[in-house]
Amino acid sequence: MNNYETVFILNPVLSDVQIEETVKKFEDFLIKNGAKMVSKENWGLKKLAYAIQNKKSGFYHLFEFTAPGEVINPYEQEFRRDERVMRFLTVKLDKHAIEWAEKRRTRLKAKA
């Protein structure tokens, strides 16, 4: 089991219900394929550095999870197929990135 982090940007014209459905779809896909969710973050609507599909903003989400390596290709294929997703990036975390992510989560919990 490897540690991964995925950031994805959803189309800004989606309703709250559509956003929740999309996030749930990808979370369910991971869990169904043997992944374990470590954390989920909704970063909200943010301005993009450059226009993507003629849009200047998007809804950002972060998933941190552990999964077998063979899950990642089908997972990313699902992102490519879903037209609600403007961009995505999945990164395998090394030990230093895992430590940093844990510190970031504890800082977020302390603020809440």
Confidence band (pLDDT; 50, 70, 90) for 107?
Answer: confident
List, in order, residues 6 or more apart from 92 with CB less than 8 Å away. 2, 3, 4
Please report, in angstroms and rounded to a whole number, the separation of the first and last CA atoms in the chain: 30
Residue 89: which of 76, 102, 100 has the closest Cα?
Answer: 76
Question: pLDDT by residue (tens digit) across 22-53?
Answer: 999 999 999 999 999 999 999 999 999 999 99
Task: Specify the higher pLDDT residue, 111 or 89.
Answer: 89
Contact status, residue 10 vs residue 19, Cβ threshold 8 Å = yes
Question: pLDDT by residue (tens digit) across 45-89?
Answer: 999 999 999 999 999 999 999 999 999 999 999 999 999 999 999
Q: What is the pTM of this model?
A: 0.90
Domain locations in the chain? 2-111
Q: Which residues of 15-34 are buried (b: 16+ CB within 10 A; e: fewer)?
A: eeeebeebbeebbeebeeee
Q: Match domain 2-111 to its CATH number in 1.10.150.120, 3.30.70.60, 3.40.50.1400, 2.60.40.10.
A: 3.30.70.60
